[in-house]
Structure 1
């Protein structure tokens, strides 16, 4: 049922593009449609704890995310469309404190007052297989769109997922452009963690043969299989043309121990090699064990890099690493790192919607050539509350705090305050 005039407008606009479809086929297309407007207010403050260069990045902005997902038309092959309208508006900051990735740069050291773009993707479904072509938000072992700022990162390309066999999910895709979190343009992709011959970084990744750090071809193929009810195995192969190729493996096991108790084990391994124009050579191992008791969760993680470089991934995305956290990823050349984490869900004591998380990570043994080994540590705290009822129902408030110290990168103190509200339209 259409609930609001805005919802009717979204549905009618979509119908206008599907007039050629018989009315009976349109029934499921409209009936299964979903639409919502998310309001995201984001304050970001990063203090570099030094006077040299830009000592602080501080911005405050308001985001509007209108999402629409249609159902599928009836028939052997069902067709549909997904779309997003995205708008970011500066509220404060940017003059001398730009660079938070909330807003695009204005070319003079500040940030733009506003930016917007529209994404859309056509989709088709046959049985339990779905093809999407257009603008995509992705989340798998090979590539994960970042949504850690005002507006989400999207990619241009195609993706097919299949669940024809019970317990088995297959996933394949081709991407040629990226629209980053603070951008309105679809651009070629880059290799993250990359330095240059003159300015190498702790990852040790360099270009060879003078090739530019750009690629318009990313491909992946993989999937996951539910071996048992409590054990899932996954594998992905991916390649960023000319930059790197990667094999990724993952095992997740959940062991029930007693009433409201369990032990979750998450093991990850990735092998990355160059694809002609870089020196990428990395073996990344990570494991995280989490013991849960009622509302409490206690986690311990370990991550180790081996090879001539650090971990390779597409620039701006969230790398599939156990120790990828608020600021750092602890995936530098030869780095070894540990993580201790604690979570608490206050619903266990009658306060649903309130959650708390804190973690501490320490890494060392970073290969910096002739310089001493690199060391770093990071501490995160995350407190969030979603109102459960009343006039503020579904309003979410989140405070994220981080401290990072390193002998090879800038020291950072960081705070993020995020207030969000999603209004269902369909």
Structure 2
């Protein structure tokens, strides 16, 4: 049901093409539709110091306001249902200057200044038959081989086609191709690139093919296999096992085991095997985690540039800890204050240490320490208002980075 004039306007503007569909066929189309608007206020402060760096700038500090509007229609009635999804993105500069850019929060013009605003409106057409859905257009896929980054003002998005099928109970199948991406601090689209420490001869590509099989055996065990191929860059196979073992009242032990094998495609030298395992013991509001990650091969772990990497030691500042032959481990502690009668308040701290970093010749170490504290309003007029403070420290290979991020987000249901 359309609850507000704003929502009705969004739906009508986005779905004008559906007016040709008979009224009865439109019933489920509108009744199953949903829309929300997220307001995201983001302050980012970083102090970056590097040995031998001739640049005068070490401080990066920017502040912006983001608006993220998402609309998902239902499907028309009949054996094959049709629908439309839409996304509207707008970022506003609140504070920035040429000597403080580089946070990844805002784009930069040719003169080094951040524009006053940036954004776009996009959409995707979709069709559903039985429990299989085909979507073509702009989207935010979330698979181990393609993980859009959403750690700044606006999310990274992709253009392409994706088929999702759940015809067999417990089994989810995804296949598709992505052709372009819009980075989290950009308004336009570009070809896809590769990130991989030590890799050479990578080039922009308009073809990323992927396939995914995910099976939930029961409430405790889920396994998956994912394949990705960034044309002219790399091919990748990923297997993942997640198991949650109940240990009694308010206790559990979670195992998350990941293995990826990546090889070259085209003229690149990609050669990487990545193993990672994270184990988490939960007791009431407490969660104690430990992770181990190991890289082997001539290059680091490859993934789509601008996105996130499916690694257990993917963290805040120097996210991957995935240089050639690097080994890293992590200790993590989380606490949910709902156990003390304060729902919505959470705390997290972690420490990651990596050895044999840099060139793969065993010539360096690195470490990172992160702390998050956040609160989300649970009721009242400001329900869903979230506040999060993030602080991180990184040291390694002649680099020293200190970061503070403060995010205020508020999601408003429109439909």
Same fold, TM-score > 0.5, yes or no: yes
The answer on 1:421 being equivalent to 2:415 is: no
- The residue aligned with 2:193 is 190
Classify 1:336/1:342 alpha carbon distance in 2 versus 1 (closer, same or farther; 3 Å). same
The answer on 1:376 being equivalent to 2:366 is: yes
Question: Equivalent of 1:339, from 330, 333, 346?
Answer: 330
CA distance in 1, matches of 2:413, 2:97: 32
- The residue aligned with 1:36 is 36
- The residue aligned with 1:314 is 304
Post-superposition Cα deviations, 1:296-328, rounded to whole Å, max 9, x if no partner, equal 000000000001111011101111000000112
Post-superposition Cα deviations, 1:107-166, rounded to whole Å, max 9, x if no partner, equal 112211110101100011111111100001011111111111101100010001111001
Alignment of 1:295-306 (within 5 A): 295-306=285-296
- The residue aligned with 1:206 is 200
The aligned length equals: 411
Q: Deviation at 1:369?
A: 6.2
Classify 1:369/1:171 alpha carbon distance in 2 versus 1 (closer, same or farther; 3 Å). closer
The answer on 1:20 being equivalent to 2:20 is: yes
SS at match of 1:324: coil
Stretches of structure 1 that go unaligned for 5 or more consecutive residues are: 194-202
CA distance in 1, matches of 2:368, 2:99: 26
SS at match of 2:217: strand
CA distance in 2, matches of 1:283, 1:342: 28
Post-superposition Cα deviations, 1:5-48, rounded to whole Å, max 9, x if no partner, equal 11121222244210111110100000011111111100011111
Q: Deviation at 1:221?
A: 0.7
Q: 1:284–1:303: 8 Å Cα contact kept in structure 2?
A: yes
- The residue aligned with 1:198 is none
Question: Equivalent of 1:265, from 255, 261, 284?
Answer: 255
SS at match of 2:12: helix
Classify 1:15/1:178 alpha carbon distance in 2 versus 1 (closer, same or farther; 3 Å). closer
CA distance in 2, matches of 1:268, 1:150: 29
Alignment of 1:390-409 (within 5 A): 390-407=380-397
Instruction: Give TM-score, length-normalised by structure 2.
Output: 0.97
Question: Equivalent of 2:277, from 280, 287, 307?
Answer: 287
Instruction: Give TM-score, length-normalised by structure 1.
Output: 0.94
Q: Deviation at 1:367?
A: 5.3
Q: Deviation at 1:181?
A: 0.6
Q: 2:357–2:366: 8 Å Cα contact kept in structure 1?
A: no
Which stretch of structure 1 is more off in the superposition, 22-31 or 105-114?
105-114
Q: Deviation at 1:68?
A: 0.7
SS at match of 2:94: strand
CA distance in 2, matches of 1:118, 1:101: 21
- The residue aligned with 2:225 is 235
- The residue aligned with 1:197 is none
The answer on 1:140 being equivalent to 2:143 is: yes
SS at match of 1:17: helix
CA distance in 2, matches of 1:334, 1:214: 26
SS at match of 1:139: coil
CA RMSD of aligned residues (A): 1.3
Stretches of structure 2 that go unaligned for 5 or more consecutive residues are: none
Name segments (4+ residues, structure 1) moved above 6 Å. none
The answer on 1:363 being equivalent to 2:354 is: yes
SS at match of 1:19: helix
Q: Deviation at 1:173?
A: 1.2
SS at match of 1:10: helix
The answer on 1:276 being equivalent to 2:255 is: no
CA distance in 2, matches of 1:11, 1:309: 47
SS at match of 1:411: strand
- The residue aligned with 2:401 is 412
Q: Deviation at 1:228?
A: 3.2
Which stretch of structure 1 is more off in the superposition, 336-345 or 110-119?
110-119
CA distance in 1, matches of 2:31, 2:234: 44
SS at match of 2:19: coil
Q: Deviation at 1:294?
A: 0.6
Post-superposition Cα deviations, 1:342-387, rounded to whole Å, max 9, x if no partner, equal 00000011000000000000000125267x6121000000101011
CA distance in 2, matches of 1:367, 1:383: 32
CA distance in 2, matches of 1:124, 1:6: 26
CA distance in 2, matches of 1:25, 1:310: 51
CA distance in 1, matches of 2:182, 2:150: 12
Q: 1:97–1:110: 8 Å Cα contact kept in structure 2?
A: no
